Copies of this chain bind each other. A is one copy, B any other.
Amino acid sequence: MHRKQVDPSTMEPDDIVASFTALKIPKTHAVVGLSNLIASNKQYRSLFVNRRLPDAGWSDVQIQHFIFLLSTLDTNNKTLVGSDSTSDESRWCGVGEREGRVYSSLVSQRHYGLSHGMGRSGDITEPQPKAVGSSVLVKLTLLMVLDAVRRGSGLNPKTAASHGILLPLCTGMSMSLVLSSLRTSAGDESRNIVLWSRIDQKSCFKAILSAGLKCVVIPTMRDGDQVVTDADALARALAEHKGRVLAVITTASCFAPRVPDKVDVVAKQCKEADVHHIINSAYGLQCAATSKLINRACVIGRVDAIVCSTDKNFLVPVGGAIVLSPDKDVIQNVGKMYAGRASSSPMVDLFITLLSMGLNGYTRLLTERSAMLETFPKRFEEVAIKYGERLLQCPANTISFGVTVDGLARLAGDDENETDYLNAVSADISKFGAMLFSRCVSGTRVVPRGGQKTISGHDFIGFGSSLDDYPHAYVTAACAIGVSKSEVDEFFVRLDKTFKEFKKASTK
């Protein structure tokens, strides 16, 4: 093989083989190793060129090799300890107020030497000249997430998942940032009201207040066992607060018996009323039905942003959110609204995870959840029936399921005076949850009738069920992405035991 003049700055496969000969590694061996390196390089290059989630996952060796490549591109990774004396760690000398110095080598290790984080003071998506490796990592992560959301979750690449941004914030704070950014772009101070289809969860409600906006809670209504969007109530509110509404917030993933909002209907209403529409879909990416609903909403109505959790959808530690939008400007304004740089640690987690999964791995997880779903509610019901309870019929919620625990509640309560009864029951039935937890079952929610909670001055009656007067006490459980068969099996065994034990204890 005739070789061009060797460029000392490159480490090409051919050069590597040549070097090996000098090390007395037989050429045949070198060629085998080379074929691996070439295969890996092709995958790396393909990621750069196609900027999509690879179909097959990468090995941990490849992932780390690639991250250290990116880390080499950053200029401001310095481990402090010993850097002065023991190694010529850096060609760089830094005389700014922050030069990516890291004191502990343990800390440096857990970040692969990356210390810059993401973004710049003006925009969290802006690349940083000192840290091009970090910048690339964050950009690739976003592109892979978008691909996962399109090819895996089924969101429409032309509408719902057309544009996106990753934020190192929880969904609540991300919601807050989106609202701030919409308000700023609107440039109309009088639009300071957010209409929020009630969902009994603190973060979103607080996010609205945190953005300096007013929240008007749109009550839900009951449809059989399901707690659903009250589109008429929303229409009334839109009319009432005409000209002062900044946005409507709906929810696409929630605990039973609340079901996902009719986001298509609301999207249409928002379009007509010319107000923003944000969908809180914290863990909705795992559900094809939800994706379809959102896709439809984008077509027939208005959707400005869809806020999703990275940890709930992609099995990484808590810490990030993805905001999707059909509108590029919305996304860009959100990026500019985050004032400063941020930890890229949640992005590194996502980057590793997506490369490790590949599209195949992600799809497999979605498929496994679907398979589990086929028996989950039925098995839940079987346990319930054994103790005189029943499954709440909420077909529109394909993630969270509930069974009544009215019988248990009645056991401990006192029927004569309903208020007293509710208080007594509320205390007692919560023991059922504690008993499950003490049996190492986490994630269930026991909701009594008539609970109440005041959040930042607003009273929520019947707190937990997202409805003032839901007629059942119930316990919920979710069949979420990543749950294993053995966990589910074990859950039903323990639930059964807990029912039995609770009954026994209460009838004494």
Contact = CB atoms under 8 A, between A and B. Distances in A.
A398 B180 CA distance: 37
Contacts of A315: 80, 101-103
Interface stretch (A25-33, A146-154, A387-395, A464-472): A25-33
Contacts of A330: none
Interface residues of A, number: 193
Given A59-B113, A87-B56, A442-B99, A20 B136 contact: yes
Top 6 closest A-B pairs, CB basis?
A96-B443, A319-B343, A117-B318, A57-B87, A56-B88, A172-B339
A184 B214 CA distance: 11
Contact of A317 (B63, B117, B143): B117
A422 interface: no
A358 B44 CA distance: 30
A234 interface: no
Contacts of A399: 97
A117 B65 CA distance: 20
Contacts of A452: none
Contact of A71 (B61, B81, B202): B61
Given A92-B441, A203-B339, A494-B93, A79 B60 contact: yes
B356 A106 contact: yes
A360 to B, nearest CB: 7
A97 B480 contact: yes
A97 B400 contact: yes
Interface string A454-467: 01100000000000
Contacts of A440: 35, 75, 91-93
Interface stretch (A5-13, A270-278, A297-305, A405-413): A5-13
A103 B59 contact: no
A236 interface: no
Nearest to A70: B33
Interface string A250-266: 00010100000000000
B95 A79 contact: no
Contact of A60 (B73, B113, B143, B365): B113
A413 to B, nearest CB: 23
A153 to B, nearest CB: 16
A445 B128 CA distance: 15
Contact of A441 (B62, B95, B113): B95
Given A16-B48, A40-B72, A132-B30, A356 B177 contact: no
B442 A94 contact: yes
A482 B101 contact: yes
Contacts of A248: none
